[in-house]
Amino acid sequence: MNKLTLIFFILIISIQYPLWFADGGFKTVIEKNNQIKVQKKINSNLKKENDALTAEVNDLKKGTKAIEERARGELGMIKKEEIFFQIINKSK
């Protein structure tokens, strides 16, 4: 009876080994789940950036205020009959 028990024990261990340690076992599943969590966080950040860029594109396509704001801020443009004043702080 002891030999039969030992044989069954060895068979059970040999069946369980791939489940725990081989490729595709629990260790691999845990690693993949961690990689998925990290990738989801990255995707979430990229989605926020994409949404902001989409909103900006829509503003530029539909409204003139966004275009005017860009022209004034980045290009230093002014409207007709408008006077531009630049204030320089000289602090010592």
Computed from CA positions of residues 19, 21, 26, 29, in that sequence, does the dihedral angle turn out positive or negative?
Answer: negative
pLDDT at 92: 65
Instruction: Tell me if the pTM is above 0.75.
Output: no
Using alpha carbons, list the distances in angstroms from residue 59 to 8, 69, 73, 89: 71, 11, 16, 34
Counted residue by residue, the chain has a size of 92
- Cα separation, 60 vs 67, in Å, equals 6
pLDDT at 76: 76
pLDDT at 59: 81
- Cα separation, 45 vs 61, in Å, equals 25
Q: What angle do CA 21, 32, 25 make, to 5 degrees?
A: 20
Look up residue 34 and give its amino acid: N
pLDDT at 61: 85
For each successive 10 residues of the chain (92 residues), what is the average pLDDT? 88 84 82 96 98 89 80 79 82 72
